[in-house]
Each structure stands twice: as C-alpha cells, then as structure tokens.
Amino acid sequence: MSQLPAGPFARLAELLGDTKPGKDPINLSVGDPSGSVPAFVAETLARTSDTFGQYPPITGSHDWRQSAAAWLNRRFELTGAIDPEKHVLPLNGTREGLFLALFPLLPLEKNGARPIVAMPNPFYQAYAAAALGVHAEPLYVPSTAASGFLPDYAGLPDAVLKRLAAVYICSPSNPEGAVASEDYWRQLFALAERHDFIVLADECYADIYFDKPPVSALPARLKQSGGLSRLLTFHSLSKRSGLPGLRSGMVAGDPELIGRFRAFRHVAGPQLPGPIMAVSAAAWRDEDHVAANRALYAEKMAAATRILGNRVARPAGGFFLWLQTGNGEETTLGLWREQGVKVLPGAYMGREIEPGKTQSNPGFSFIRIALVKDLSTIMTALERVRDFLERQ
C-alpha cells in the first residue's frame, strides 16, 4: 500500500492549503450527487428499524434479491437471465465490492509469475488499492482521446497478457463519461477468454446518460456467449438514486465468481443493514426518482455546453465534465483563488506513465468538474470557470 498515493481529495486539500477562495466558494470537486432524498427512504427506514436488532444476511433479504435481479433484467433487457439466487450480491456501496472482489478471485500466480491487474488511467482509485492489496502488479492503461477515453487492453503486449489476471473497466467512465460500445465489450470478453482473465465492470453511472442508455457488459456478454462467465458488474444506488450516504450497491454476473465472492463475504464481508436493505429494495424497484434525477443532470449538462461552448465535449454518461485546460493543478489553484470554484485536477485520478514525468499522466492537462449542485449554483460556477479560462 506504500505505492498508493494519498486520495485525490487529500491531495486537493494539500494543493489549496490556506489559499482563500476569491468569491463565495462553490465545491464541484466531489461527485456527491447531493440531491433530494426520495420520500420512500424515510418511510421505509421507519417501518423496518426493528431489523437493526438482527444480523442481516450477507446475501440480502429475499425482497432485496428479487428487486435487484428484476432491475437488472428490466434495465438491461436480459429476459429473465438474472436469477436472484445465483447472480447477485448486495454491497455496502460499489467501492467496497470493487476493492474486496480481488481477494477471493485473484490467483497468487498467473503462468508462474506475479499476476497483473489492469485498470484505465485515469481511474477510480479503489481499483489500485485492490490490486496492491492482493500483491498483484497494478497496470495503468491510458484512456486518452486517441483511444476514445477507454483503455486499449487488446493492444497490451503478449508478455503482459500472459500475466493478466483481472481488468477493471468503468462505463460510463469516471472521469471522462465515455461509454464502451457493444463491440468494445465483445472484444474485451474475447481477449479475456483467450488470455484467461476476469472482467470487473464498474457501471455505477449506468443510469445517468444523455441520449440513450449505455450498452452494459451484461447483455453484451450474454449475447456473445449465452452466459456471463468471467464477468462481474458493479451497480450503485449512490449515482442511480442520488443516495451516496445509503452505502448500497450490488455486484452481478458470473454465478461461479459470485459464488466464490459470496463464500468469502460469509467469512469477511460486510452485510447491508436490514433497514438499508429494505430501502435499497425499494430504490431498485422505483424508476420515477431515477428518471427525475436524470432529467436534472440533462439540464445541467445542457447548461454546461451552453456556458462553456466548445471547450466541453459532452460526455455520453455520468455527471462530470472532463475539461482540458493546460496544467490541471494550476487551473484548479487559480480557479479557487480567483473564482472560489473548487474542482479536481485530472492528474489526481491518474498515474504517470513515465516515472518522474508528471506531464505523462493522462490526466495532467485536465480538470474534473462534478455537476452535482443545483442548476443555478452550477451555472454560476461554470460562468466563473468560463471567465477564468477566457482570461488565461
């Protein structure tokens, strides 16, 4: 873990230090959906609070499993392929599952050597913590404009593919909002079969999109092979329902991998508390609050493209702007000092490709802006960003 840098927000706090914001501060650095909490949350918590008196089952309640599986079948048009008893497990938020999944699933060796776990670069930092936690070698594969902001795993050298035991892939991606096409998924699964590795698909932004729902790994895999082998997908109520404080997500996919993960979780995994499970079942079942959230994000994204013009490439999904501005750390510091707008330097989500060369970090020249406040606050912040960038 000594190879793991401090988290992006700790680094941001250090960068800004004692610098005073130039205007009343607006924080668009954290992807905290911070929307209104649907009424069914409080009602369900009150109704089920007696279940705090029991240890909850690691596999979730019957109702949770039914609701979670029904959402997957409905949302991804899987015609009932997801069996609530075989294909799903509850998580305390996807971060927990994305981290823990490697512990029961990664081999100690691959073809006689230390296994490699590949991930996009830039990426959600828990992937690297997981790879380091199981003593695998993390491999940071650039997601740049040239590769459609997705990692080109098929382009890895044979020597790497021989040792590759798992890949993380995020779609819609954080930070870029790129979406993997069906073709991308097919090629990735074909590669996984050829080189015997597993695919951990982080799809926690799957319900936040602008034109059409993103293709998911689940139907792509099912169509290609008739099953879900080698695939685990991760879904979250933090983004879909705007409930990051609930700490509730799920993992779904290959029943054999789910079985091994379930066995591990029975020994060392965290359960989802009973009332949280009941709220989660209600949240996976309801689409109205999700559609309302999505419509709000669409308004915010439309405002962003209006205000920032062709500085932004509208993402296919997620709620981030990934803006190329020159040195992202300098932009972040300047924006805070002059305009009171807090964003995240793109470099804090990435890694240097050439050691010692900060500019080789694919996030170096970017900032990430999370469109998570109310529309008028976001518009004020983006007008300040525009004014700042115009004066550069």
Per CB under 6 A, does 124 bind ligand PLP?
A: yes
> Exactly one of 8, 38, 242, 244 binds ligand PLP (CB under 6 A); which one?
244
Nearer to ligand PLP, 151 or 334 (CB): 151
Per CB under 6 A, does 174 bind ligand PLP?
A: yes
> Exactly one of 89, 151, 188, 202 binds ligand PLP (CB under 6 A); which one?
202
Question: Could you give the CA distance from residue 88 to residue 78 in angstroms, rounded to a whole number?
Answer: 14
Per CB under 6 A, does 328 bind ligand PLP?
A: no
Nearer to ligand PLP, 202 or 329 (CB): 202
Give the count of residues interacting with ligand PLP (CB under 6 A).
14
Here the tokens at position 40 are: 């069914």
DSSP structural state of residue 7? P
Per CB under 6 A, does 115 bind ligand PLP?
A: no
Cβ at position 58, least distance to ligand PLP in Å: 17
Nearer to ligand PLP, 104 or 249 (CB): 249
Cβ at position 265, least distance to ligand PLP in Å: 16
> Exactly one of 26, 68, 130, 170 binds ligand PLP (CB under 6 A); which one?
170
Question: Could you give the CA distance from residue 203 to residue 6 in angstroms, rounded to a whole number?
Answer: 24
The sign of the torsion formed by the CA atoms of 367, 368, 374, 375 equals positive
**Number of residues that make up the chain:** 392
Here the tokens at position 145 are: 């404009």
In sequence order, what are the residues at sequence separation of 6 or more whose Cβ sits closer than 8 angstroms to the Cβ of residue 322? 149, 175, 176, 177, 313, 315, 346, 366, 368
Per CB under 6 A, does 240 bind ligand PLP?
A: no
Nearer to ligand PLP, 101 or 204 (CB): 204
- CA angle, 367 as apex, 120 and 94 as ends, to 5°? 45
Cβ at position 246, least distance to ligand PLP in Å: 9
Cβ at position 171, least distance to ligand PLP in Å: 10
User: By Cβ distance, which residue is nearest to ligand PLP?
Assistant: 93
| Touching ligand PLP, residues 59-98 (CB under 6 A) | 93-95, 98
Question: Could you give the CA distance from residue 281 to residue 106 in angstroms, rounded to a whole number?
Answer: 30
Nearer to ligand PLP, 205 or 336 (CB): 205
Per CB under 6 A, does 29 bind ligand PLP?
A: no
- Residue 83 · residue 300 · CB < 8 Å: no
Per CB under 6 A, does 331 bind ligand PLP?
A: no
Nearer to ligand PLP, 230 or 368 (CB): 368
Cβ at position 32, least distance to ligand PLP in Å: 8
Per CB under 6 A, does 249 bind ligand PLP?
A: yes
27 has which bridge partners? 342
Grouping H, G, I as helix, E, B as strand and the rest as coil, residue 61 is coil
252 has which bridge partners? 88, 233
Nearer to ligand PLP, 31 or 214 (CB): 31
Cβ at position 220, least distance to ligand PLP in Å: 19
DSSP structural state of residue 20? P
Cβ at position 235, least distance to ligand PLP in Å: 8
**DSSP character string of 119-164:** EEES--THHHHHHHHTTPEEEEEE--GGGTTS--GGGS-HHHHHHE
Question: Could you give the CA distance from residue 16 to residue 342 in angstroms, rounded to a whole number?
Answer: 9
Question: Could you give the CA distance from residue 264 to residue 301 in angstroms, rounded to a whole number?
Answer: 41
For 12, 102, 292, the CA distances from 42, given in Å and listed in that order, are: 34, 34, 19
Per CB under 6 A, does 31 bind ligand PLP?
A: yes
Contact footprint for ligand PLP (CB under 6 A): 31, 93-95, 98, 124, 170, 174, 202, 204, 236, 238, 244, 249
